[in-house]
């Protein structure tokens, strides 16, 4: 399905190929930028910074429309993950699964270090994937020229693995090899962490991306690289007292210097939220997937009225849902499709637009028009864009919704691996 100027997601359940792991997806992306750290009793406190999304950068520079003409949306939204059997070239691979990334709306990035001495990289902290990858010094693509590279020969703690990996985007394959080295997040040190070194990054979207790589925080079943994902190593190496991490994300920041919130590894911070944390059990241990009771518009019209499944995803900027229901939702809030591939609203009518309520575990979570509308500037005038996007993704439990940045900037979110649950609380702004 094609819509001009929009990252439309399509998910296919693929039969297992050279890998035996089940098929999964990769979603739109949201990351975090670390600028400091404070530790106590096994807690790692990481201040966050927010950056402009790639889509905003392109729109502000006046080249978004031409970019979308030159690049079909699938060019930067579809990715296939493939496995390389021994002795098989990358061009002979069978597909193991398909994942989706919405690079255009990426907003938050984080700083990590790999190797000894430390080499710094900006990565997306992504609860919707489980692998860590950064560019290699041997990377030959144009995108690598504008990003930092990992220099394995400069690290005394580097351990080669040699297994190749591949990720297929619409414009070509991201290729690389697996390695192990020391990873630092803040001042937390994780030994012998498996990660991918990319040697080829396709397409021009990576050129515009400010992040160097991705650090996944999902369950191990999402992992493409054999070995423990980062947070599983954090747990197995007993780096934290609680197998918990939490996000405090804000939309206040609009430039590189603006604060974007905080990621806390190892617990929660009661000063950042009020009341009790409301817990919802994980229904499928891959993504942080939970049951959603319903979605209501202005408290009356109900979507997902028989219950549905939702993914809580820091790697997604918008709120996604099945095409049919999202189109109904766009109509109910007065959003109309535009020539730039976005659903737009009349900025003068924001105060009169309906509230949208998500019911999770019997508790209502309501977001206002000011919270679900993204306001940007185009040609010197304000442009109001809907924060909802269609994403037709099937699962064993039925169609999936995705609770991304638009939702997570309104509620304190907690991810608990010890009890396999996700928690939300009222955020202190």
Here the tokens at position 16 are: 């297992």
Q: Which position among 126, 181, 212, 293 bears the catalytic label?
A: 126
Here the tokens at position 15 are: 């039969």
Nearest in space to 408 (alpha carbons), one of 345, 331, 325, 317: 317
- Within the chain, what is the greatest distance between any pair of CA atoms? 62
Is residue 241 flagged as an active site residue? no
Q: Which position among 105, 232, 293, 313 bears the catalytic label?
A: 313
Angle ∠(412,418,419) on CA atoms, nearest 5: 75
Torsion-angle region of residue 107: left (phi > 0), alpha (psi -120 to 50) or beta?
alpha
Q: DSSP per residue over 361-429, as a string? A: TTEEEEE-HHHHEEEEEETTEEEEEESEEEEE---TTSSEEEE-HHHHTTEEEEEETTTTEEEEEEE--
Burial group, residue 241, by CB count within 10 angstroms (0-12, 13-18, 19+): exposed
How many other CB atoms are found less than 10 A from the CB of residue 112? 26
How many other CB atoms are found less than 10 A from the CB of residue 395? 19
Is residue 181 flagged as an active site residue? no
d(CA 341, CA 322): 18
d(CA 280, CA 397): 16
The residues carrying an active-site annotation are 126, 313
């Amino acid at each position: 399905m094609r819509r001009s100027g929009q990252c439309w997601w399509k998910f296919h359940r693929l039969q297992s190929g050279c890998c035996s792991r089940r098929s999964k997806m990769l979603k739109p992306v949201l990351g975090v930028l670390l600028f400091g750290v404070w530790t106590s009793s096994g807690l790692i406190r990481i201040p966050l910074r927010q950056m402009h999304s790639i889509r905003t950068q392109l729109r502000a520079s006046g080249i978004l429309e031409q970019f979308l003409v030159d690049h079909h949306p699938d060019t930067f939204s579809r990715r296939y993950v493939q496995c390389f059997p021994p002795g098989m070239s990358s061009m002979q691979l069978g597909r193991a699964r398909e994942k989706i990334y919405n690079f255009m709306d990426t907003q938050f990035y984080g700083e990590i270090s790999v190797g000894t001495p430390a080499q710094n990289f900006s990565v997306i902290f992504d609860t919707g994937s489980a692998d860590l990858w950064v560019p290699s010094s041997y990377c030959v693509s144009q995108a690598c020229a504008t990003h930092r590279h990992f220099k394995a020969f400069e690290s005394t703690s580097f351990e080669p693995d040699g297994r190749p990996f591949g990720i297929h985007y619409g414009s070509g394959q991201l290729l690389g090899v697996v390695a192990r080295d020391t990873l630092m997040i803040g001042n937390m040190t994780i030994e012998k962490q498996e990660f991918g070194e990319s040697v080829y990054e396709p397409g021009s979207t990576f050129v515009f991306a400010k992040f160097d790589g991705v650090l996944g925080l999902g369950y191990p079943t999402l992992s493409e690289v054999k070995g423990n994902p980062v947070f599983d190593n954090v747990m197995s190496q007993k780096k934290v007292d609680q197998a918990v991490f939490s996000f405090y994300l804000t939309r206040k920041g609009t430039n590189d210097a603006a604060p974007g919130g905080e990621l806390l590894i190892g617990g929660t911070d009661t000063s950042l939220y009020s009341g009790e944390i409301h817990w919802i059990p994980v229904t499928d241990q891959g993504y942080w997937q939970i049951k959603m009771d319903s979605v209501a518009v202005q408290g009356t019209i109900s979507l997902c009225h028989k219950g549905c499944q939702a993914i809580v995803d820091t790697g997604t900027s918008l709120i996604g849902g099945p095409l049919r229901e999202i189109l109904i939702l766009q109509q109910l809030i007065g959003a109309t499709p535009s020539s730039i591939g976005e659903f737009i609203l009349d900025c003068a009518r924001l105060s009169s637009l309906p509230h949208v309520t998500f019911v999770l575990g019997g508790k209502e979570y309501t977001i206002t028009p000011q919270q679900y509308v993204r306001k940007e500037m185009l040609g010197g005038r304000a442009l109001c864009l809907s924060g909802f996007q269609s994403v037709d993704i099937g699962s064993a439990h039925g169609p999936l919704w995705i609770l991304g940045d638009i939702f997570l900037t309104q509620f304190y979110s907690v991810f608990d691996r010890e009890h396999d649950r996700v928690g939300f609380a009222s955020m202190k702004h």
